[in-house]
Amino acid sequence: MPIRVLLVEDSRLARVILKRILNSSEQMEVVGEARTGLEALELIPKVQPDVICTDLHMPEMDGLELTSEVMALYPRPILVISVSVQEEDTHQVFQLLEAGAVDIFPKPTSGLVMNNQVFQQELLTKIKVLSGVKVFTKKRKLADSKKSFELENVAAFSDNSSREPKIVVIGASTGGPQALQKLFAELPSDFPVPVICVQHISFGFLQGLIDWLAKSCRLPIKIAQPGDLPKPGTIYFPPEQRHLELDGRGRFICPDSPPLDGHRPSVTITFESVAKFYGKRTAGILLTGMGRDGADGMQVIAQAGGFTIAQDEATSVVFGMPKEAIDLRAAKEILPISAIAPMLVDLLQKQPEELIINN
């Protein structure tokens, strides 16, 4: 059965091009088109789409209102396709994610054209992934935040492997912004170690993500700068289209070396670099996301004796990256998203000051 897609877009030309792109795949079928959110709401029960692709700015009912209504009435995966990457617009895009949209995808700034092969392939891939998302983290009843789910037959961790971390590294992809919002909101203002986070996100949306996360987070969130030393109680993201590593002195370097397995920044590259410098004092966390980026990096952290956590399947929008790490036996703990911050706080509550690197 082909994936049933509903297009919601006020531009007739954009609808025509998007429909041609989607119908060019035997795996997809455009079952409905709407110019506004109101038209889309009327169509959904009639055409029963598997995935909804919506623009942000539309007359009568915009993408944000539509997403809220869909999640209340007809919950299903929503992909936001928007050219909006200006500061005021990215704020609204992330409000869409907060309302229940699963992912965002930018239109080319030069406009939609049929010969943009990269855009076409990435769009088709995202829709294929989202078609398998049947239940939303936002709607799930999460497990008790203090309950720990340990993986059976996990690779052996010595007693020394659970010593208090000096740094936390996090990797995420599809569904990651929502997961990070939940995790960061539960970190206390006196969190005693640096946090480095790699989130796969389309170009132009990073600052919007940081601004959105900052509204519910007690810790400062910054884009890492080359030469800076990670500071306790600060969350760092790599610059757009750059990897994030540590040099021999533990300071940031942000190379534009080639992507690893299609990703720049790469979660695995960051995980491996941090594990090389901090060793067993590294805590690695792999959250929801498609593919396997970060799995090999988490295995390096585990082999160095660090503490590793994979988000569980029940609260992952896409159980790809965490599952790959679990299959490698690289995850010491498998936890719902609500349990990860409490676990970190428990690990660090007796953190001695001498373990923290200062400037």
CATH, residue 338: 3.40.50.180
115 vs 327, residue with greater confidence: 327
pLDDT digits (tens, 9 = 90+) for 65-80: 999 999 999 999 999 9
Q: How much is the pLDDT for 349?
A: 79
The Cα 165–Cα 187 span in angstroms is 15
The Cα 280–Cα 275 span in angstroms is 7
- Alpha-carbon dihedral 258, 260, 263, 264, rounded to 10 degrees: -40
Instruction: Select from 110, 134, 158 the last residue of a domain.
Output: 134
Strand partners, 309: 285, 333
- Is 140 domain-assigned? no
The active-site residue, picked from 50, 55, 103, 293, is 293
Q: Helix, strand or coil for residue 53?
A: strand
Average pLDDT over residues 338-356: 75
142 vs 83, residue with greater confidence: 83
Give me the sign of the Cα torsion angle 55, 61, 65, 66. negative
80 vs 148, residue with greater confidence: 80
Q: How much is the pLDDT for 3?
A: 96
Task: Enumerate residues 6+ apart whose C-beta is below 8 A from 254.
Answer: 224, 225, 226, 238, 239, 242, 243, 244, 245
Catalytic-residue membership of 173: yes
Q: How much is the pLDDT for 117?
A: 83
Could you say which DSSP state residue 231 is in?
Answer: P
Distance of CA 176 to the CA centre of its chain: 2
Question: Quick one: tokens of 70?
Answer: 């869909």
Catalytic-residue membership of 57: no
Confidence of residue 141 (pLDDT cuts 50, 70, 90): very low
Query: What's the total number of domains in the chain?
Result: 2
The active-site residue, picked from 131, 200, 263, 338, is 200
Same domain, 243 and 331: yes
- Residue 355: pLDDT over 50: no
Catalytic-residue membership of 293: yes
The active-site residue, picked from 84, 131, 161, 173, is 173
Average pLDDT over residues 129-156: 48
- Is 88 domain-assigned? yes
For residue 115, the domain's CATH number is: 3.40.50.2300
* Distances from the Cα of 287 to the Cα of 37, 49, 132, 200, 312, angstroms: 31, 27, 17, 11, 8
Average pLDDT over residues 20-49: 95
Give me the sign of the Cα torsion angle 261, 168, 139, 324. positive
Same domain, 125 and 254: no
Nearest to 313 by CA among 295, 286, 294: 286
Same domain, 80 and 179: no
- Residue 177: pLDDT over 60: yes
Strand partners, 54: 8, 80
Could you say which DSSP state residue 159 is in?
Answer: G
Same domain, 63 and 180: no
Question: Quick one: tokens of 62?
Answer: 């915009």
Q: How much is the pLDDT for 142?
A: 37
Q: Which amino acid is at 174?
A: T
Question: Quick one: tokens of 338?
Answer: 């609500």
Domain of residue 121 covers: 3-134
Distance of CA 10 to the CA centre of its chain: 28
Q: How much is the pLDDT for 21?
A: 92
- Is 30 domain-assigned? yes
Alpha-helical segments (H) within 24-173 = 37-47, 63-73, 87-99, 117-130
- Is 141 domain-assigned? no
- Is 250 domain-assigned? yes
Lowest mean pLDDT among 54-63, 87-96, 183-192, 296-305: 87-96
Q: Helix, strand or coil for residue 241?
A: coil
Q: Helix, strand or coil for residue 285?
A: strand
* Distances from the Cα of 142 to the Cα of 15, 135, 139, 338, angstroms: 37, 12, 9, 7
Lowest mean pLDDT among 61-70, 215-224, 229-238, 261-270: 61-70
Q: How much is the pLDDT for 82?
A: 79
Confidence of residue 350 (pLDDT cuts 50, 70, 90): low
Could you write out the DSSP letters of every residue in 187-215? Answer: S-TT--S-EEEEE---TT-HHHHHHHHHT
Q: How much is the pLDDT for 93?
A: 80
Distance of CA 321 to the CA centre of its chain: 11
Same domain, 262 and 288: yes
Same domain, 104 and 156: no
Angle, vertex CA 129, rays to CA 38 and CA 323, nearest 5? 135
Confidence of residue 116 (pLDDT cuts 50, 70, 90): confident
- Is 143 domain-assigned? no
Average pLDDT over residues 109-138: 74
- Is 40 domain-assigned? yes
pTM of the model: 0.85
- Per the CB < 8 A criterion, the answer to whether 139 and 40 are in contact is no
Question: Quick one: tokens of 103?
Answer: 């992912």
Compute the mean pLDDT over every residue in the chain, rounded to the nearest whole number: 87
Q: How much is the pLDDT for 218?
A: 97
Same domain, 262 and 306: yes
Of 9-23, 99-113, 143-157, 268-282, highest mean pLDDT: 268-282
- Per the CB < 8 A criterion, the answer to whether 276 and 306 are in contact is no
Lowest mean pLDDT among 5-19, 77-91, 310-324: 77-91
